[in-house]
Every structure is written in structure tokens, then in C-alpha cells.
């Protein structure tokens, strides 16, 4: 648990698997190695947050990385929520959006493939 914010640490979720890490880095990691790869992890996490913002743009939800451990979701009206992994990210996003987010909805797919500028 984080003693400052009283948030319980979550078990490793499958979506946190990092394809770029070499296979030996998944089960047994030395502390030195863990620290040496901190930058890499944070960059990866920040990119995921940007990708999440893009994917959730139709619902006006922006996502930022919070200390490499949580995703912070915000709407234009100031509603916000936090999610430790992607599984809860979708739950929180649907709560904020007030509607289900369907990855198979044709209109949404059209948005994802459109050439709208990314910012």
C-alpha cells in the first residue's frame, strides 16, 4: 500500500506485460536492473497514456500517467478517476463517459481510422 495516498498495490495485470523487455526480465529481476530500466518503463507508460487519450477522445476523456503506477482519467467537466491497470481503466472510463465503450461499433472504428490530427 502507498502510505501517502492509501492506495493498495495491485497484482501484476496481464496488460502490464512489456513485450520489449527480454524474456528473462519477467520472473526474476535484480534491483539494479529494475532501477536501470526505470526510464524505459516510464516512457512506455507515458506513451500508453497518450494512446489511451486518443482512444477515449470521442468521450472527451484525457488520460495521464501518474507516477508510473496509475492512470489518471479526467473529463472536460472535471470528473476524474484513477485506474491501476487497463482492466479498471475501461471500467472507470465507462463510468465517466456514462455509456458503454464498444470496440466493435462501426462509428467508433471510423473515428480510429480517420486521419484527424492527433492533438
Least distance (Å) between residue 100 CB and another protein: 6
**Cell 497518450, located at residue:** 50
Beta strands 61-66 and 70-75 are antiparallel
Helix (H) or strand (E) holding 110, with range, is helix 106-113
Q: How far is CA 19 from CA 15, 40, 44, 63, in A?
A: 10, 12, 11, 22
Residue closer to another protein, measured from CB, 3 or 118: 118
When the beta carbons of 19 and 76 are compared against another protein, the nearer one is: 19
Burial class of residue 39, CB neighbours in 10 A (0-12, 13-18, 19+)? exposed
Among residues 50, 62, 66, 97, the one that binds another protein under rule CB under 8 A: 50
The minimum distance between CB 105 and another protein, in angstroms, equals 9
Instruction: Tell which phi-psi region holds residue 78, choosing left (phi > 0), alpha (psi between -120 and 50) or beta.
Output: left
* Contact string (CB under 8 A) for another protein, positions 1-40, x = contact: ----------xx-xx-xxxx-xx--xx-------------
Residues in touch with another protein (CB under 8 A): 11-12, 14-15, 17-20, 22-23, 26-27, 44, 47-48, 50-52, 54-55, 86-87, 89-91, 100-104, 108-109, 112-113, 115, 118
Amino acid at each position: 500500500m502507498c502510505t501517502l495516498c492509501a492506495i493498495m498495490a495491485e497484482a501484476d495485470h496481464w496488460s502490464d506485460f512489456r513485450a520489449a523487455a527480454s524474456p528473462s526480465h519477467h520472473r526474476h529481476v535484480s534491483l539494479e536492473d529494475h532501477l536501470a530500466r526505470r526510464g524505459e518503463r516510464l516512457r512506455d507508460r507515458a506513451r500508453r497514456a497518450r494512446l489511451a487519450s486518443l482512444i477515449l477522445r470521442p468521450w472527451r476523456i484525457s488520460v495521464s500517467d501518474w507516477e508510473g503506477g496509475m492512470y489518471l482519467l479526467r473529463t472536460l467537466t472535471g470528473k476524474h478517476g484513477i485506474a491501476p491497470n487497463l482492466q479498471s481503466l475501461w471500467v472507470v472510463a465507462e463510468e465517466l463517459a456514462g455509456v458503454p465503450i464498444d470496440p466493435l461499433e462501426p462509428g467508433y472504428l471510423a473515428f480510429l481510422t480517420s486521419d484527424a490530427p492527433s492533438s
